[in-house]
Structure 1
Amino acid sequence: MTEGTDRPLIWIGRTDYGRLLRAMDRLSAQAPDVSAFLSRELDRAIVRPEGDLPRTIVRMGSRVLFRRSDGMPFEWGELVYPDRSPGEGQITVASPLGVALLGLREGARMPYSDADGTTRWLAVERVLPA
């Protein structure tokens, strides 16, 4: 099931949803494009209690095996909040890639605009819960 023609449904836990709304407000001055993208994703998200979400959903703190575009190698990353400086292998939700990963299920594909404005496809291969 998809929303529109190319955006898969996304699920977000209630606690993460509240923290992400606050983060979005703080991001609006620093990174308005990312804040707007996060706002659109939060608006279309299915919000549920964390315990009701499938284990195969990308949540904050999840480790994710993904591919940025067809033909590119798979990468592992951990999705983190923007109030943390991302370390090795961490992806902040204050980036286009982080927002695009948020709430996707294993096997989902989604387009997103990279930091340089290039449209790319993102594919989630595996999700390891936080």
Structure 2
Amino acid sequence: MQHNTKTRRKPNIRISKSDHARLSALANTVAARNPEAVDELLAELERARVVADGWVSAGTVRMGSTVTFKPDTGDAKTVTLVFPGEADISEGKVSILTPIGTALIGLSAGQSIMWIARDGRRHELSVLAVDQPAPETGTADWRAPASSTIAADV
């Protein structure tokens, strides 16, 4: 059996200006604690085409998107791409700082990408569908709130 040893070029990706800014700030904040994840994220941010927030199509993976993809390891999976504090694999919420989260950002339905798992193995995934969150739900900011006081209507 012959293996394709030629390195495949990564697909073109688009990231909104606001996601790019938030992810760059996140990367700078956690760089000392998680350098490997940050290096991959920064590489994706550097190669991405940064576009105005309204210019990212609904079929493009951005923060808060729910993505259905087919990994080379088995059946299709559906996950939501979130900031680290929101990650919960039991709920299908995958952190942008995981190898698969970093691989997904900016891809569109129909695109495939090669990515490297934490164990060093190379994998490929293909994006099948992308759904965006309802505007009122959005994705929580990864930073702590400016104030810990919460006002309630009484």
Aligned residues: 126
TM superposition score normalised by structure 1: 0.91
CA RMSD of aligned residues (A): 1.4
CA contact (8 A) 2:69 2:78 kept: yes
> How far off its partner does 1:96 sit?
0.5
Quick one: which of 93, 98, 106 aligns to 1:95? 98
Match of 1:55 in 2: 58
Richer in strand (by share):
1
CA contact (8 A) 2:44 2:102 kept: yes
Distance (whole Å) between structure 1 residues aligned to residue 66 and residue 83 of structure 2: 13
Q: What whole-Å deviation, never above 9, does each CA across 1:39-85 have from its counterpart, x for those lacking one?
A: 1100000111121111110010000001221x610000000012324
Unaligned 5+ runs, structure 1? none
Unaligned 5+ runs, structure 2? 1-6, 134-154
> How far off its partner does 1:122 sit?
1.3
Structure having the higher Rg: 2
Match of 1:104 in 2: 107
TM superposition score normalised by structure 2: 0.77
> How far off its partner does 1:6 sit?
2.5
Distance (whole Å) between structure 1 residues aligned to residue 53 and residue 42 of structure 2: 20
Tell which has more relative contact order, 1 or 2 (C-alpha 8 A, sep 6+). 1
